[in-house]
């Protein structure tokens, strides 16, 4: 299973490790994913999602239903 946020589509980024001598080697910036259960009050059920930590902060700010609606509009969930 790939490490992608279910609601925002965030994935790992690629960059460089840069040493003091300016030597560059490839590295990966992973997404801080958390598997979390959310309660969907409109449908009276729990859903499990793999979301980034920043997405959890967005859900706390906007609400789960608004974030789900945005994700459907952007095509991350069907």
Give the separation between CA 39 and CA 54, rounded to whole angstroms.
18
pLDDT, tens digit, for every residue of 40-66?
999 999 999 999 999 999 999 999 999
Q: What does pTM read for this prediction?
A: 0.82
Categorize the per-residue pLDDT at 69 as very low, low, confident or very high, splitting at 50, 70 and 90. Answer: very high
- Give 27's strand partners: 15
């Amino acid at each position: 299973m790939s490490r992608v946020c279910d609601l925002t589509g965030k994935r790992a980024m690629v960059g460089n490790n840069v040493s003091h001598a300016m030597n560059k080697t490839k590295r990966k910036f992973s997404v801080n994913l958390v598997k979390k259960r959310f309660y969907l009050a409109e449908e009276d059920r729990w859903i499990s999602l793999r979301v980034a930590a920043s997405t959890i902060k967005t859900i706390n700010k906007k609400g789960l239903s608004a974030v789900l609606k945005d994700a459907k509009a952007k095509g991350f969930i069907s």
